[in-house]
Amino acid sequence: MCRWLAYSGSPILLREALYAPAHSLIDQSLHSRLGAETTNGDGFGIGWYGAGEVPALFRGTEPAWNDANLRDLSAHVTSPLFFAHIRASSGTAVQQTNCHPFRHGRWLFMHNGLINDFHAVKRDLVLDVDPSLFATIEGQTDSEVLFHLALTLGLEDDPRAAVAGAVGLVEAAGRRRGIEHPIQMTIAVTDGERMWGFRYSSEGRSRSLFVTTDVPTLRRLYPSMALLEGMSDNAHLIVSEPLGDLKGAWNEVPEASCAVVGGGKAEILPFVPPRSSRSQRPAHLAGSRPG
């Protein structure tokens, strides 16, 4: 489907994470090893926090591997927290409004995976989105609808609960349509301070997700690695696929879990969508349809 990367730590050039590693995200756009497809050439996007009140977005419809602007920007933009995403479309158009990350105020969101049989449940799910958020859906993707469901359910207050609720709505809608495994996903969200990486699928066989070992430990393992010297102790990457083969650096996020990075620590928490979505109905629809 897609590949993505999320960085938080001391400010670095985007290039250090996007292009420099042996199996960088750009390399994965042509040669993904763990993705559902080898090629992720249906557009890309980066989002980063810096000067503006909201994070910056740069999204393009070209394959990441041959985008001259992305290469140049990555060599000039420095940020303490950024997202990057390369897309393999599961059918929808290759256009900027379908490229991740998606943005809402201070928040960024990106997704790898899919809502199965999205055509069948799209209308139900779009109706679940808060009417005040409806018109800010710009593209056609399942991912953006998922983001808006999470926003509807309080993403800005409690990301883990809101994403769980959104997944609950998707699974409820899917079950109503007889879809066996309604969702497959890894998701990253951030408010610019902390970042959350989710791994989940209805079938319990989710796409891969990794978080890096903490920097002090890596320094002990690799005392001569120059890159680590300039990096803050609290730096972490969350990635859908390791950027190289460095032993001890990449820790798999377990099935049905959420990695939370920020505030000086990184932790793994359980991620369990509610089985009955009734309690999760958006306020504007509460009681109007059986969960």
Kindly tell me the sign of the dihedral angle through the C-alpha atoms of 18, 22, 25, 26.
positive
Question: Which parts of 22-61 interact with a copy of itself (CB under 8 A)?
Answer: 30, 38-39, 41-42, 48, 50-52, 56-61
Confirm if 210 and 252 have CB atoms less than 8 A apart.
yes
Q: CB of 89: closest distance to a copy of itself in angstroms?
A: 6
Residue closer to a copy of itself, measured from CB, 37 or 214: 37
Interface pick for a copy of itself out of 78, 213, 234, 251 (rule CB under 8 A): 78
Q: CB of 75: closest distance to a copy of itself in angstroms?
A: 5
Stretch binding a copy of itself (CB under 8 A), from 71-79, 150-158, 212-220, 239-247: 71-79
Fill in the per-residue mask, 117 to 156: x = in contact with a copy of itself (CB under 8 A), - = not in contact.
-xxx-xx--xx---x--xx--xxx----------------
Residue closer to a copy of itself, measured from CB, 140 or 251: 140
Interface pick for a copy of itself out of 36, 73, 272, 285 (rule CB under 8 A): 73
> Following DSSP, what letter does each residue of the chain receive, concatenated?
-EEEEEEEEEEEEHHHHHTSSTT-HHHHHHH-SSSSSS---S-EEEEE-SSSSS-EEEEESS-GGG-HHHHHHHTT-EEEEEEEEEE--SSS--SGGGSSPEEETTEEEEEEEEETTHHHHHHHHHHHS-HHHHTT--S--HHHHHHHHHHHTTTTT-HHHHHHHHHHHHHHHHHHTT-SS-EEEEEEEE-SS-EEEEEEETTS-PPP-EEEPPHHHHHHH-TT-HHHHTS-TT-EEEESS-SS--TTTEEEPPTTEEEEEETTEEEEEE----S--GGG--GGGTTSS--
Stretch binding a copy of itself (CB under 8 A), from 94-102, 148-156, 168-176, 251-259: 94-102
Residue closer to a copy of itself, measured from CB, 71 or 181: 71
77: nearest Cα among 60, 57, 62: 57
269 is an interface residue for a copy of itself by CB under 8 A = no
94 is an interface residue for a copy of itself by CB under 8 A = yes
* Helices 142-152 and 159-176: angle between axes, nearest 10 degrees: 120
Q: CB of 186: closest distance to a copy of itself in angstroms?
A: 23
Interface pick for a copy of itself out of 23, 34, 97, 106 (rule CB under 8 A): 97
Residue closer to a copy of itself, measured from CB, 62 or 156: 62
Stretch binding a copy of itself (CB under 8 A), from 65-73, 166-174, 175-183, 192-200: 65-73
Size of the site for a copy of itself (CB under 8 A): 46
193 is an interface residue for a copy of itself by CB under 8 A = no
182 is an interface residue for a copy of itself by CB under 8 A = no
CA distance 12 to 228: 12
Residue 236 corresponds to which amino acid? H
The site for a copy of itself (CB under 8 A) is made up of 13, 30, 38-39, 41-42, 48, 50-52, 56-63, 66, 68-69, 72-73, 75-78, 89, 93-97, 118-120, 122-123, 126-127, 131, 134-135, 138-140
